[in-house]
Structure 1
């Protein structure tokens, strides 16, 4: 499941970042709900951690492949960039809310992905993920469907530590 998921997520990451030539991802290690992966691209090695939701709401809709990813791109000077990836296009004027325990972060939407609205909050979000127990992601599809995804944060710290020295 995670291998197929990581290949799908890699394709989405590459499409959203405009990277044309990259190798298939290699799973470094699985840490409970989070896997650590890497691949080579034109800009060097890219490392990321990835998880899939433990629950999806509403249950009666096709959500597609849903992921939450935190990426390291040392060659592009990007460190621990959180990204929500949906299996559907989101409403363009909407925001995605990520709640980690009791702290909420706002993400901006572009097509089927979302990133932290205020990049200065990325380290705080990653720190909250490391310290947290669960994470909830709320989004609105282009059709107007309100969706909620629940993620376990079990293993996130070990997975992030594994990609810390990504080179």
Structure 2
């Protein structure tokens, strides 16, 4: 990741945590694994860890997408294990769905403002496993203005990054 991407990732982390945790500290990058970085920060008495990547392509190319990320977080203090989340740089269409496609398998996410989470939490482990074993990942969304967007992500390094945050405490 470039220095700009790392800075954006740190800024994102502050946004990411501010939605649910007011007292979050500045995140620290643990290590970079090809396309995926592993990060952590303190939240109260617990540590939150996550892996993050940015898309390799953004469609349509003619629009300003803002900062786009895909995150998988570990929040042991909240009993959250490997929670996938898509974050975009624009408001998503209200009540729309985001689709994550890994190879030929689709996962549906619900949206709120600029983020999306797996609609059926029981499918989170299957999505994370598909990320570890898959070759291609894309995320499709609809902006608040009705623009259909899509993002391609590299899955190189995801397994190593997830392993790095496995023991997050």
The TM-score normalised by the length of structure 2 is: 0.96
1:22 is displaced (CA, Å) by: 1.4
In the TM superposition, 1:1-167 aligns within 5 A as: 1-17=4-20, 19-42=21-44, 44-167=46-169
Query: After superposition, what is the alpha-carbon deviation per residue over 1:14-33, rounded to whole angstroms, capped at 9, x for unaligned?
Result: 1322x111111100000000
Q: Following superposition, which runs of at least 4 residues in structure 1 exceed 6 angstroms of deviation?
A: none
Query: After superposition, what is the alpha-carbon deviation per residue over 1:50-107, rounded to whole angstroms, capped at 9, x for unaligned?
Result: 0000000000111000000000000000000000000000001210000001100000
Root-mean-square deviation (CA), in Å? 0.9
Could you tell me which runs of 5 or more consecutive residues in structure 2 were left unpaired when the two chains were aligned. none
Query: How many residues are paired up?
Result: 166
1:43 is displaced (CA, Å) by: 5.0
CA distance in 2, matches of 1:66, 1:150: 11
1:8 is displaced (CA, Å) by: 2.1
CA distance in 1, matches of 2:19, 2:90: 13
CA distance in 2, matches of 1:166, 1:33: 20
1:35/1:49 contact within 8 Å kept: yes
1:43/1:76 contact within 8 Å kept: no
Question: Secondary structure of the equivalent of 2:130?
Answer: helix
CA distance in 1, matches of 2:11, 2:135: 26
The TM-score normalised by the length of structure 1 is: 0.97
